[in-house]
Structure 1
Amino acid sequence: MTTSKLEESESSCDISQFHHTPFYCEENVYLLCKELCKKGIADAQGSDLFVVFISNDKKQIPLWRQKASNRADGVVLWDYHVICVQKKGSGDTPATHLVWDLDSSLAFPCPLATYVLETFCPSFQTFAELRRCFRIVHAPIFLRFFASDRRHMKDSNGNWLRQPPLYQPIVAQDGTVHNLDGYFQIRATDAVTGTGVDVTNAVFTEKLGVVVTENQLEEFFSQIP
């Protein structure tokens, strides 16, 4: 526990330097990736960054240590959530991978193992239908193809359910104006079998990345070349 706290404090960043609009986590992470590259915290092309969508068939995922919660344990039942994972080290020089979550009360960034333990609470027994799945997309691909016109945040009369960001909606480089649904629609049957080289390599080529289960998450990142 002492080691984790030391790692967190040594790698902490000022979260106020990053743009955050409540309930627009996918856009927050999009801008976060760009800012990490701009600041030199990540590779200039974002090659060490991965965007991770978290959801399931029921669109109900319990996450702990969330700022939006009114509970002491910080638990929230989101329909989906988005974080950024930064791969650290390679080959014979492995290092602790980091999670950047603008909505978490944990350190910013937080070691992946600590984040998994504190945010997903593996020891807490949840219903099978609430188990989380993860769509992992390589940041350079995400920054190129992601688009959202925010239609998911409007009711049937066109009124905003949540106040949108002040900047213009994100349009993909190919002109696509909305494809968010393709990212957060995640089913357990989408999950890959195993986490071998072929699977980890696929994340660098697939537009929508790859889907893994909670049990595969840490192993997946440990195997990324």
Structure 2
Amino acid sequence: MQREGYQSITSSRDSCVYTSCYCEENVWKLCEFVNAQTPDLLREVYAVFISNERRTVPLWKQKSGPGNEPVIWDYHVILLHKSSQWGQSFIYDLDSVLACPCDLQLYAEQAFRSDKGLKPAFWRKVRVIPAEVFLKTFASDRSHMKQAGVWQKPPPPYPCIQTPDSVMNLDDFISMNPRVGVGNVFSLPEFIQHFTANL
């Protein structure tokens, strides 16, 4: 259960910068908010990319999910706060119907569920990137959201996120090849175990 007294590290869900189907940018904006408002906590914050080699990952409790059925994403991105004060990890998923923030254990039980019983093509892997690294290295020109020059979903109203070195490296973050990109790659059970263990 979520500990009473835990204060969200972001603004309320309704006031967060959010664009449907741009989860990677939503999380980047959450990291940017933490860096601006409570920079001392940034070291406890991570961007978490969920995908696999086939880019078919089921997640439950998603706003776009039909009833109790999962949504099959090619990838999804959430924010994780590994709180040293509370000895607990919390998930911020602006696309979920679960609380935001949500205790990682509860999120794991209801949104991730388990790879057991799923075909291997649907087993989830996770790339975990420290927020400070994510803010400095992530770039997207949003070209993945265009087909024949037409937006598949309306883009965010603010300029594309770029770095001095790149205008588009999203695929490096989605990749679950540990030799590619930044951060650490875990299997789903490894991720849950690592971030629910006592801090």
TM superposition score normalised by structure 2: 0.89
Q: Conserved in 2, the CA contact under 8 Å of 1:148 and 1:177?
A: yes
- Does the CA-based 8 Å contact 2:61-2:70 persist in structure 1? yes
Q: Distance in 1 between matches of 2:101 and 2:194?
A: 19
RMSD, aligned α-carbons: 2.5
1:214 is the counterpart of 2:169: no
Larger fraction in strand: 2
1:141 and 1:224 mapped to 2: Cα distance?
24
Report if the CA contact (8 A) 1:67-1:74 is conserved.
Answer: no
Shift of residue 11 of structure 1? 4.5
- CA distance in structure 2 between the aligned counterparts of 1:8 and 1:115, rounded to whole angstroms: 17
Amino acid of the structure 1 residue aligned with 2:191 = L
Tell me, yes or no, if structure 1 residue 81 matches structure 2 residue 68: no
Q: Which stretches in structure 1 are left out of the alignment for 5+ residues?
A: 192-205
Q: Secondary structure at the match of 1:72?
A: coil
| Structure 2 residue aligned with 1:195 | none
> Counterpart of 1:106?
98
Task: With a CA cutoff of 8 Å and minimum separation of 6, indicate the structure with the bigger relative contact order.
Answer: 2
Matches within 5 A, 1:118-133: 118-122=110-114, 125-133=117-125
Q: Residues 46-89 of structure 1: CA distance to partner in whole angstroms, max 9, x if unpaired?
A: 111111100011111000000112x2225201000001111111
Q: How does 1:32-111 map to 2 (within 5 A)?
A: 32-40=30-38, 43-44=39-40, 46-69=42-65, 71-73=66-68, 75-89=70-84, 95-111=87-103
Q: How many residues align?
A: 197
Distance across 1 between alignment mates of 2:18 and 2:12: 13
Q: Which amino acid aligns with 1:49?
A: V
CA drift at 1:222: 5.2
Q: Write out the 4+ residue segments of structure 1 that deviate beyond 6 Å after TM superposition.
A: none
